[in-house]
Amino acid sequence: MSQQTARGGSAAWALVITSVAGFMAALDNLVVTTALPSIRKDLGGALPDLEWTVSAYTLTFAVLLMFGAALGDRFGRRRLFIAGITVFTAASAAAAMAPGIDSLIAARAVQGAGAAVMMPLTLTLLTAAVPEARRGMAYGIWGAVNGLAVASGPLVGGSLTEHISWQWIFWLNVPLGLILVPLARLRLAESHGTGAPLDLPGTLLASGGLFGIVYGLVRGPVDGWTGAVVLTGLFAGTALLVGFVLYSVRAKNPMLPMRLFRSRAFSGINAASLLMFLGMFGSIFLLSQYMQGVLGYSPTEAGLRMLPWTGMPMLVAPIAGILSDRIGGRPVVATGLFLQALGLGHLAVVATADASYAAQLPALIISGIGMALYFAPASNLVMSSVRPKEQGIASGANNALREVGGALGIAIMASIFASRGGYESGQAFVDGMRPALVTGAAAVALAGVATLFIPARRRPTAPTSPPAGPTPEAVLETAS
């Protein structure tokens, strides 16, 4: 069992602190995209340099997620959570004050490292603070905030850039970080994982493998999929991850025990998460450009028109969390994923070079409800599929797969877009976007199918005498 030291901790405070921290980390995935023209005007730099202001964050974030979770389990989750917030906040200030494009890229890389430490620990700290019976609702609120951050990144970045300056997309994090650090120290309870020593060989293999694959996916659409560096990254990364799996099967205290994947619940929700983010990230990447470049909306106008999608989690996700407490997470997540796939498919059908907003609105609402139904119960399924002492690394692994899915989605859908269309005209953009959105819808539908393989939750029966069956840990160990 994890060791906990109560220090003014409470469920409400844990929910606020972890939700705000998760919002900061998730927001910075896409917040820079709409600010790139302004950044180029002020700092200069070629197109590849501008792309690295996005990619540098994605790379370090994805690569270090499992390592950050392992550090928290070993040295204290609250302690490392505070360290992650501190690094993220300092790097945000450095990015806002960057005198040139190279220093901005370096600050973004450090930002990603700080986010990789704090993000997986938000779920473990929240789980430790909230009673099991109320975790669904808590995950619902946490998921709503994180889903809003992912989907509203382009809106926030565009609005701040348009009305103030691009530096404020980074300054926004500084006061939040300065408030969160003392609050986390005073209001969160400390907890640890297994106490096992750090798995250095596993860390190097996993981090190197993730770096190679994410680097190849990020650079593929830009440098070409047959480029030597891209192919080297993809093949070397895959080889290192295979080595990580083989090593972890035999290691005494592996960073990510492979036996966890014998659980259909753990394997199913992680497969669904990867596919969900593949479809969602790639779709948002193209749709934000479509609304601005083809339909002629400003960044703020485009963001406001996407609110039925991006804002829906704030309304529906808490309800989804309560439903998952009552009927189990599997039916809620599966419904959400199929609705999301339906919405993306509808957007592909109605998209034209002069589509009216009324034609798009039903698809945006359906997609928003689907995304909201996914986030909260998915987190609950991840955390309930492992023992309490393994929740840190489970959260890190799930977040890493989500990041890989997001990078894979942008790479695949950008390649489909480039092969079927382009930026020459509005019609050319639509010709490329439609098949890409169909691909995204198919990926999310496959995520829904993967969710169906998760075992249904057994309804508890009232025992006539004190139960003498296996412990919950033993049940989780043998679940399949």
Bridge partners of 5, per DSSP, are 190
**Is the model's pLDDT at 463 over the cut of 50?**
no
pLDDT score of 446: 94
In which region does residue 76 sit, left (phi positive, over 0), alpha (psi from -120 to 50) or beta (all else)?
A: left
326-341 residue pLDDT tens: 777 788 889 999 999 9
Residues 163-195: pLDDT tens digits?
787 788 888 889 988 998 998 888 887 776 666
pTM for this entry: 0.73
Categorize the per-residue pLDDT at 22 as very low, low, confident or very high, splitting at 50, 70 and 90: confident
18 closest CA partner among 157, 170, 129: 129
Q: Which residues of 355-387 are buried (b: 16+ CB within 10 A; e: fewer)?
A: beeeebeebbebbbbbbbbbbbbbbbbbbbbbb
Band of residue 435 on the pLDDT scale cut at 50, 70, 90: very high
Structure tokens at 238: 């895959």
Is the pLDDT at 477 greater than 50? The verdict is no
- What confidence category does residue 50 fall into, taking pLDDT thresholds of 50, 70 and 90? low
Is 5's pLDDT higher than 50? no
- Round to whole Å and give the CA distance between 414 and 432: 9
Most confident of the following: 142-156, 260-274, 314-328 = 260-274
CA distance 297 to 462: 58
pLDDT category at 439 given cuts 50, 70, 90 is very high
Exposure string of 338-351, with b = 16+ CB inside 10 Å and e = fewer, is bbbbbbbbbbbeeb
101 has a pLDDT exceeding 50? yes
Radius of gyration in angstroms for the set of CA atoms belonging to the chain, rounded to a whole number: 21
64-99 pLDDT, tens digit per residue, is 877 777 787 777 888 888 999 999 999 999 988 888
**3-class SS of residue 253:** coil
pLDDT digits (tens, 9 = 90+) for 278-324: 888 778 778 877 887 788 887 677 777 877 877 776 677 677 777 77
In order of 69, 107, 296, 350, the CA distances from 173 in angstroms are 22, 13, 30, 37
